Amino acid sequence: DADVTQTPRNRITKTGKRIMLECSQTKGHDRMYWYRQDPGLGLQLIYYSFDVKDINKGEISDGYSVSRQAQAKFSLSLESAIPNQTALYFCATSDSQGLAYSYNEQFFGPGTRLTVL
């Protein structure tokens, strides 16, 4: 079974609809992230959470909200979807425990392809 799962894998919706993307992990990691990938732009961080009570905005949080329901679950919501939110969305996790001077690896889910018409 995959360590980081995302649902749905594909979603087509209409402008103005509310959409929730879900992420679950079985890695036991405390940190979780949501990224957006657009062609030719790499990955951009939307939100990140270091534990259930610690949620932070990333570089492109406008138009999005998140909820950390449990250590293993982190959902991303688009309150009123618009066409320029059409993109591939990735959830990732990392572990805060590790070597003192190395940045901990992030583990990615398979992605959700969202299309807003």
Partner 1 sequence: GNSVTQMEGPVTLSEEAFLTINCTYTATGYPSLFWYVQYPGEGLQLLLKATKADDKGSNKGFEATYRKETTSFHLEKGSVQVSDSAVYFCALGYSGAGSYQLTFGKGTKLSVIP
Q: Which residues of the chain form contacts with partner 1 (CB under 8 A)?
A: 4, 31, 33, 40-43, 45, 48, 50, 58, 90, 92, 99, 101-111
For the bound state, the minimum distance from the C-beta of residue 50 to partner 1, rounded and expressed in Å, comes to 7
Rank residues 28 and 110 by Cβ distance to partner 1 and give the closer one. Answer: 110
Rank residues 67 and 108 by Cβ distance to partner 1 and give the closer one. Answer: 108
| Cis geometry, peptide bond prior to residue 39 (ω within 30 degrees of 0) | no
For the bound state, the minimum distance from the C-beta of residue 28 to partner 1, rounded and expressed in Å, comes to 18
Rank residues 39 and 84 by Cβ distance to partner 1 and give the closer one. Answer: 39
**Which residue, chain included where needed, has tokens 């996790």?**
93
Q: Which helix (H) or strand (E) holds 4?
A: strand 4-7
Note whether 57 and 6 are within 8 A (CB): no
| Tokens coding 33 | 């992230």
Rank residues 17 and 115 by Cβ distance to partner 1 and give the closer one. Answer: 115
- What pairs with residue 57 in β-bridges? 47
For the bound state, the minimum distance from the C-beta of residue 23 to partner 1, rounded and expressed in Å, comes to 11
For the bound state, the minimum distance from the C-beta of residue 98 to partner 1, rounded and expressed in Å, comes to 9
